[in-house]
Amino acid sequence: TGVVDAYRMQEVEQEIAQSVLSVDDGIKFLERSAQKGNVNASFKLAKVLFDNDVEDKASRRMMLKWFKQSAEGGEPRAWLHLAKIYREKEKLGRARKCLREGARCNDVESIAEYGTMLVNGEGGPRKKKTGIVLLKRAALRGNGAAAHMLGILCERGEEDKGKIKYIKWLTRASELGHVPSKLLLAHEYLNGSSTLKRDELGAAKLIMEADKLGSSSALSSSLSSSLSAGDYFLCAEILAKRSFASSNWTDALEWYHRAGVKGEDLAFVRAGLLVAMKLNEASPSIQQAQQLLLNVTREEEAREAEALLGWMHLKFHSIRDPTKALELLRSSSSSPHAGALFLLACCHLRGAGVPTDEEEAAKLLQQALKSWSASSRRRSFSHSLWRLCDIQFTLGQMYLQGCGDVQQDVSRGL
């Protein structure tokens, strides 16, 4: 009977996971086995409730009861789950005691978590030396969170001092699939140092690996982490930079889009720029670029988006609309935005949507120069789409030739 029950329990777990069996029916079966004193059933029953985020008080009481029963019956993983529950209730003293029991049962995750609590002095007195011993034991057994914590301690100067040890533990944690370590290591690769050679592609690779691992089911925020908008944006910037030398730029576009969805409006602008710079008249991506730029809502980034949309309405015949372009560029130039001012000046020089007016163009170009020198926004798309020398060259030509109402001034032009 015991063998049949054990086999059926495995089936129940799989059927619940695959939605073949309802959670309620699975719970009933496991509860019958648990009431017979089956420790494994007690743990699985509690874990089903835990994994399904039960919120009603009766179910949570049942979950706590079965975790306790399985822990006292010798199931080390139950102590870890109990610690998680007590952490959520901010009962750190109880969480620490549960992890101590789990560590005594030789559960590697409990050892790592208990070591972290001792080192940080959570739920009781700080015991740094004991905590470090436990963390090293867990790290040697393949626990990424423990290796990560040892790296952090090295950076703080509380364990072996020095950047080399810090990088060593971060690398170890990263190899073990620890997401926060991959992200920290990515930034180290980007910054470069005497101990780690700068490697942009290596950084992007680590961020992509971290994204694949994602927020996998873990019992503590120290064990997993999701990527921030900044992480997505950083990876997109690296991929975009590389994409200009190749035809493979869709990956960068995807990462920009994900950063934008996470709340980084500038990512939509950069995505729009990337699409626009790869466009031609026959490209269906013109509409895609427009849609990306229309997603921008934050005021500062919206000025960037308006300038780029205005440029597109001037450049591409399929969506050419000088009136719309001028409307967008005027809105953007109110910031003031150097790129928008430059494009408005070009409109006045060429008579695109407005009468030709060299004097107004010269004023706009001078404003663009001032705006450019005052701007500290290195990420502005205008720094990629055109350069400061474009503005200087256009204004210089006007002074050399003395266009219209602009008085000739050769020395100034030169």
User: Taking phi first (over 0 means left), then psi (-120 to 50 degrees means alpha), and beta for anything else, what does residue 198 get?
Assistant: beta
Same domain? 275 vs 329 = no
Angle between helices 229-243 and 250-261 (to 10 degrees): 160
Q: Are residues 337 and 390 in the same domain?
A: yes
Residue type present at position 35: Q
Structural domain contains residue 325:
yes
Report which DSSP code applies to 284: T
Q: Global pTM?
A: 0.69
Per-residue b/e over 71-107, b at no fewer than 16 CB within 10 Å?
Answer: beeebbbbbbbbbbbbbeeeebebbbbbbbbbbebeb
Per-residue model confidence (pLDDT) at position 22: 60
Least confidently predicted of 180-184, 193-197, 379-383? 379-383
pLDDT digits (tens, 9 = 90+) for 357-404: 888 888 888 888 887 766 544 444 444 555 667 777 777 777 777 766
265 and 338 fall within a common domain: no
Higher pLDDT, 219 or 407: 407
Among 35-49, 101-115, 192-206, which is the least confidently predicted range?
Answer: 35-49
Last residue of a domain, one of 244, 263, 297: 297
Domain-located, residue 329: yes
Alpha-carbon span 152 to 167, nearest angstrom: 10
Q: 352 and 396: one domain?
A: yes
Alpha helices in 295-403 (DSSP H): 299-315, 322-333, 338-350, 358-374, 382-385, 388-401
- The pLDDT confidence band at residue 127, using thresholds 50, 70 and 90, is very high
Instruction: Indicate the average pLDDT of the chain.
Output: 81
Other CB atoms within a 10 A radius of the CB of residue 294 amount to 13
Q: Secondary structure of 384-413 in the HEC alphabet? A: HHCCHHHHHHHHHHHHHHCCCCCCCCHHHH
* 324 and 273 assigned to the same domain: no
Total structural domains within the chain: 3
Q: Provide the pLDDT for residue 246.
A: 58
| Domain match, 331 and 390 both | yes
Same domain, 326 and 407: yes
pLDDT of residue 223: 44
Average pLDDT (193-217) is: 84
Residues 6 or more apart whose CB falls under 8 angstroms from that of 241 comprise 200
In a domain, 388, yes or no: yes
Same domain, 289 and 327: no
| Better pLDDT: 194 or 21 | 194
What range defines the domain where residue 238 resides? 228-297
In terms of domains, do 281 and 320 share one?
no
Residue 10 lies in a domain: no
Q: In terms of domains, do 281 and 190 share one?
A: no
Higher pLDDT, 63 or 185: 185
Residues 211 and 232 reside in one and the same domain:
no
Output the domain CATH number for residue 192.
1.25.40.10
pLDDT band, residue 284 (cuts 50/70/90):
low
Q: Contact 362/380 with Cβ under 8 angstroms?
A: no
| 330, pLDDT greater than 60 | yes
- What gap in Å lies between CA 339 and CA 373, rounded to an integer? 12
Residue 39's pLDDT band (cuts 50, 70, 90) = confident
| pLDDT of amino acid 137 | 96
Quick one: pLDDT band at residue 277, thresholds 50, 70, 90? confident
Alpha carbon distance 156, 211 (integer Å):
27
User: Do 413 and 349 belong together in one domain?
Assistant: yes
Instruction: Read off the pLDDT of residues 234-257 as tens digits, 9 standing for 90 and up.
Output: 999 898 887 655 556 778 888 988
Name, in order, each residue with C-beta under 8 angstroms of 107's C-beta and a sequence gap of 6 or more. 76, 77, 79, 80
**Among 276, 297, 318, where does a domain finish?**
297
> Does a structural domain hold residue 84?
no
CB-based contacts of 91: which residues, under 8 Å, 6+ apart?
Answer: none
Average of per-residue pLDDT across 211-231: 66
Q: Within a domain: residue 37?
A: no
Q: How far apart are CA 299 and CA 303, in angstroms?
A: 7
Residues 197, 203, 209, 210: what is their CA dihedral angle, to the nearest 10 degrees?
Answer: 110
Residue 179 lies in a domain: yes
pLDDT, position 220: 43
Cβ(264)–Cβ(297) below 8 Å: no
Q: What is the rounded CA–CA span in Å between residue 381 and residue 334?
A: 17
DSSP conformation class of 171? H
Is residue 293, in this structure, part of any structural domain at all?
yes
326 vs 284, which has greater pLDDT? 326
φ/ψ bin of 160: left (φ > 0), alpha (ψ from -120 to 50), beta (otherwise): beta
Contacting residues for 216 by C-beta, under 8 A, at least 6 apart: 224
User: Is the torsion defined by CA of 227, 231, 235, 240 positive or negative?
Assistant: positive
Place of tokens 């990337």: 274
Looking at 246, 270, 297, the residue that finishes a domain is: 297
Query: What is the band of 222 on the pLDDT scale with cuts at 50, 70, 90?
Result: very low
For residue 18, pLDDT over 60 is answered with: no
* pLDDT for the residue 242: 78
What is the pLDDT averaged over residues 260-265?
Answer: 87
pLDDT tens for 146-164 read 999 999 999 888 776 678 8
